Structure 1
């Protein structure tokens, strides 16, 4: 028996070495396969004067009259951004998201396209079809600078706000989260007005044109959805700017709505950026419960991108490289939540626009009549999430209301189980006799 000891030892050792060699070979092959599966942005080559998506692999007609094109994920418009040439697409985040606080009342997807068609084929993303020759619509300002913008001396672009946020603090914030009620406010002038609920992640400053933002929420903006039979439903939107909302140039690299210019990189095959959200409540419906959508923006320090989550789905991201001068390069100096209304005002017009904010009800109406955002949380520079103190959100430097007789906001805490920090917001604009249009 003692003679067999060395033989068994060396035999066992040889087997272990052989297994390690096999495992190493398999691991190498897996790494090679993984590398070969990496998807890279590849700009399509065509004769268009401006950057656009690659040709679709499939297209779907949605019941609201819109078309959704399924674009190869590598050929989406962001491939044309100069900082994203041959960019390796990040299919999943590496940073943990905030735990969901949404109590879903239905398994239905919040958007028409996914309800009716399920999603795009694997390897493609849904893009709402738009006329590539239509001028890109843009914002003109942020709630950090509430003012009227002159337009040729005859009309003014008016932005009004009911917004709250965190104090300005350089390199302090890396994420924002809330659960939005989804509402259908009435518009005074359907052709030009918009009304929205959103979150802002902000870096830089308006006055020196360095303002850089990540913005996401829902809006009613028929001018973007002119080809739809029912454009007055609220639509999911994203927006970004890296130069304080200055005009997008011919290369389209300074910011835009949705996927109309290179910048935001989408990976999800079900969510349509710019798509209709059919589950919503209007003031007239006075629903017993309001529809909701869960929105989160979070920086991933491993990938150097800002991820967008919708109902916990990682939908896509803003690479930090699309921002200039190091802005939004891992942190932001301000986070804001709230509502915004836009309308055009003639120089001779005294009356205020009748475009409503939120549901059209003022905050005092409460649930389920007034619009709200609940479970408001923010991520600090390390990525940890916290509920903000309502007193902080209600401070003179954090709560901004253009005219409380037109639109208002009310920050609260603890009056509803599992709502955390929240606020009601909105108003009826010029439908309220006290709203006289001071701008």
Structure 2
């Protein structure tokens, strides 16, 4: 038995059999662990946050809650720190009662990360201000008069488009590779991206990017769904750049780009968790041909499905930034995708003035033959299968899946083994109409 003393200490009664004493100890341990578990549950519950749609009662347009704090960044942009519960994702019809995931649940399933070259955070906001206050996320302020911009297609060999959202004369060209299309086969994608500053011939219209596409569904029945991440130089989306710079971007659609989805945090869908990464924010450290630096600067990007949370998590430089709940994709991208692609894209508009081809650059503006550190690249290209296991993409497979409009304008070369720790990689890009061989008449 246990005897209680006046000094409130207790001791073992020597007359108690050893077996009974052992049972008493076990009971005390169980009671103690139960109390501790209850405290931990209460603590977790107090930290749980639920999305709460904000309205100012003046219109029905989805919007973020008012900021708790705002920062002016030295590139001229304003960053508003929005309460995490009041981010625009709260307005999505499938997220009305959504409990925010305060981190992924599948760290053990993640890829084995390759060495990077970045020393400082690549975004000015984090370097100058650290992060938003606890419980809030950074959102880049946009001009309310700027039109909403959407993407309009996945990579194909066709150069001109007339699909949903396409403007007259809108032309897309690609230097892209990927994995074979296969139903329910992929649950993640990973790569290091060089961050470059291509020159645009018509900054008021053109854009140039490097990205990864995770794709499910089909064009012909309108179910095409995508998750897209990378960097882009797109002045129309970021008209106040000082100077012109590439920006981290995300995009999604669930019905073949037909009036669903959006860039960055401009519509309900993506749920941000991180307090220092600015989706849509500038990446000011980058390499251009003119600078001819001795090394290129990089950003590490990964998208991975979390089967516990039913969400696609975005990691940037190994930080879990936020996620796309599978519920926003209307039955697609639920656990897996049927296609993964990596590469570059440019968009320009036919001007009808007889010029040979747009001179907008892709990547750094150099062709792949320029190699490191001149040409743009993606390295350590790998993917997760449907069970979440990671594999290096095989060059022989990627070469069979290349999408090129005209290699004299923009090209891609896929390689392996020539650089230590690079795994499978490719150089890509080109100078478009600045190359005499790129002479496709409009």
State TM-score, norm by structure 2.
Answer: 0.92
User: Unaligned 5+ residue runs, structure 1?
Assistant: 248-253
Equivalent pair of 2:289/2:366 in contact (CA under 8 Å):
yes
Q: What residue is the counterpart of 1:169 in the other structure?
A: 182
Larger-gyration structure (1/2): 2
1:70 aligns with 2:81: yes
Cα deviation for residue 207 of structure 1 reads: 2.8
1:214 aligns with 2:227: yes
| Cα 1:178–1:154 shift into 2, 3 Å | closer
| Cα 1:298–1:438 shift into 2, 3 Å | farther
- Determine which of 24, 27, 39 is the counterpart of 2:37: 27
Cα deviation for residue 121 of structure 1 reads: 0.8
Q: What residue is the counterpart of 2:150 in the other structure?
A: 138
Alignment of structure 1 residues 29-68 onto 2, 5 Å:
29-46=39-56, 47-68=58-79
Equivalent pair of 1:145/1:206 in contact (CA under 8 Å):
no
Q: What residue is the counterpart of 1:102 in the other structure?
A: 115
Secondary structure at the aligned position of 1:222 is classed as coil
Secondary structure at the aligned position of 1:6 is classed as coil
Cα deviation for residue 205 of structure 1 reads: 1.5
C-alpha deviations, 1:119-166, integer Å up to 9, x for none? 111111000001345321001111046341349999410000000000
- Comparing 58-67 with 125-134, greater Cα deviation is found at 125-134
Equivalent pair of 2:137/2:274 in contact (CA under 8 Å):
yes
Cα deviation for residue 438 of structure 1 reads: 4.8
Cα deviation for residue 87 of structure 1 reads: 0.6
Equivalent pair of 2:224/2:254 in contact (CA under 8 Å):
yes
- Separation in structure 2 between the aligned mates of residue 5 and residue 132 of structure 1, nearest angstrom: 82
- Separation in structure 2 between the aligned mates of residue 105 and residue 64 of structure 1, nearest angstrom: 20
Secondary structure at the aligned position of 1:353 is classed as coil
Cα deviation for residue 92 of structure 1 reads: 1.2
Q: What residue is the counterpart of 1:118 in the other structure?
A: 130
Question: What is the number of residues matched between the two proteins?
Answer: 426
- Provide the alpha-carbon RMSD of the alignment: 1.9
Alignment of structure 1 residues 169-318 onto 2, 5 Å:
169-230=182-243, 232-247=244-259, 254-318=260-324
Q: What residue is the counterpart of 1:357 in the other structure?
A: 362
C-alpha deviations, 1:397-423, integer Å up to 9, x for none? x10001111100000011111111000
Q: What residue is the counterpart of 1:390 in the other structure?
A: 395
- Separation in structure 2 between the aligned mates of residue 149 and residue 216 of structure 1, nearest angstrom: 22
Moved segments of 4+, more than 6 Å: 151-154
1:86 aligns with 2:97: yes
Secondary structure at the aligned position of 1:149 is classed as coil
Cα deviation for residue 9 of structure 1 reads: 4.7
C-alpha deviations, 1:66-99, integer Å up to 9, x for none? 0000001111000000000121111111123212
| Cα 1:284–1:133 shift into 2, 3 Å | closer
C-alpha deviations, 1:286-331, integer Å up to 9, x for none? 111000010000001111000000110000011100001x210010
State TM-score, norm by structure 1.
Answer: 0.93
- Separation in structure 1 between the aligned mates of residue 234 and residue 115 of structure 2, nearest angstrom: 26
Equivalent pair of 1:155/1:346 in contact (CA under 8 Å):
no
User: Unaligned 5+ residue runs, structure 2?
Assistant: 1-12
C-alpha deviations, 1:318-365, integer Å up to 9, x for none? 1100001x2100100000000000011134544311100000000111
Alignment of structure 1 residues 402-413 onto 2, 5 Å:
402-413=405-416
| Cα 1:6–1:173 shift into 2, 3 Å | same
Cα deviation for residue 4 of structure 1 reads: 4.4
